[in-house]
Amino acid sequence: MTLERARTLIRDIPDFPSEGILFKDITPVLGDAQAFSTVLDALAERIAGKGFTRVVAIESRGFLFGAPLADRLKIGLAPVRKLGKLPYHTDRVEYALEYGTGTLEAHVDAITPGDKCVVIDDLLATGGTAGAAGRLVEKQGGKIGAFLFVVELTFLNGRSVLAQNGTPVESLISF
Ligand code: AMP
């Protein structure tokens, strides 16, 4: 199994969740044991041996890759969620959406100051979501060592937003 074959499993869903969006459905990758394992190996390879101490996974598809990645690296995971989902005290950041704003939260003790964090999500589009997660990490005294994605929509140029401070941006499969 290669990443190229994993790429062929990603399914295009036109007009989901709203008209004009071509949604990249990664669930067939999850459903194929070999493809999922290949993707996780490749994600781990990109960041192994670089002293990361925390995986920061973005709701909700980021959890699907972030949790097994944290286990492979033997480091802890901090979930970043949409407003109102986390039970304990939280820190928040607002970010711009196409219409209006969104809010991301993390528990106040999600990050240990000085943590070297890798922020992971399934897909990089404009970079707004991952950038906001990065600000949340910094608010809690963590450092962003890398942004990591399974899929990157290169035409949206999110990479240039995230790489502004020289932070590495890694993705496995580009469209
Ligand atoms: P952005 O903040 O624009 O980089 O959007 C990234 C977030 O939105 C990620 O959590 C993605 O899962 C989701 N997303 C945005 N565009 C798509 C798309 N075309 N297909 C699948 N997920 C998407």
pLDDT digits (tens, 9 = 90+) for 104-114: 999 999 999 99
Answer whether residue 63 shows pLDDT above 80: yes
Query: Quick one: average pLDDT of 136-151?
Result: 98
Separation between Cα atoms, residue 157 and residue 63, nearest integer Å: 23
Q: Assess if CATH 3.40.50.620 describes domain 51-174.
A: no
Query: Quick one: average pLDDT of 74-92?
Result: 98
The pTM assigned to this predicted structure is: 0.98
Percent of the chain clearing pLDDT 90 (strictly above): 96
Identify the pLDDT of residue 158: 97
Strand partners of residue 106:
91
Please identify which of the residues 54, 61, 81, 159 carries the catalytic annotation.
61
Atom of ligand 1 nearest to the CA of 129: 2
Question: Which residues fall within 8 angstroms of residue 59, CB to CB, at 6 or more apart?
Answer: 79, 80, 81, 82, 85
Please identify which of the residues 46, 59, 81, 98 carries the catalytic annotation.
98
Ligand 1, residues 95, 123, 175: which to mutate, most atoms within 8 A of Cβ? Answer: 123
Atom of ligand 1 nearest to the CA of 132: 2
Query: Quick one: average pLDDT of 14-18?
Result: 95
Separation between Cα atoms, residue 141 and residue 74, nearest integer Å: 21
Q: What is the pLDDT of residues 36-61, one digit of tens each?
A: 999 999 999 999 999 999 999 999 99
Please indicate whether residue 61 is annotated as part of the active site. yes
Q: How confident is the model at residue 162 (pLDDT cuts 50, 70, 90)?
A: very high
Question: Which residues fall within 8 angstroms of residue 108, CB to CB, at 6 or more apart?
Answer: 88, 89, 90, 91, 140
Nearest 5°: the CA angle 149, 49, 117 is: 50
Please indicate whether residue 54 is annotated as part of the active site. no
Using the mean position of ligand 1's atoms as its centre, give its distance from the Cα of residue 123 in Å.
5
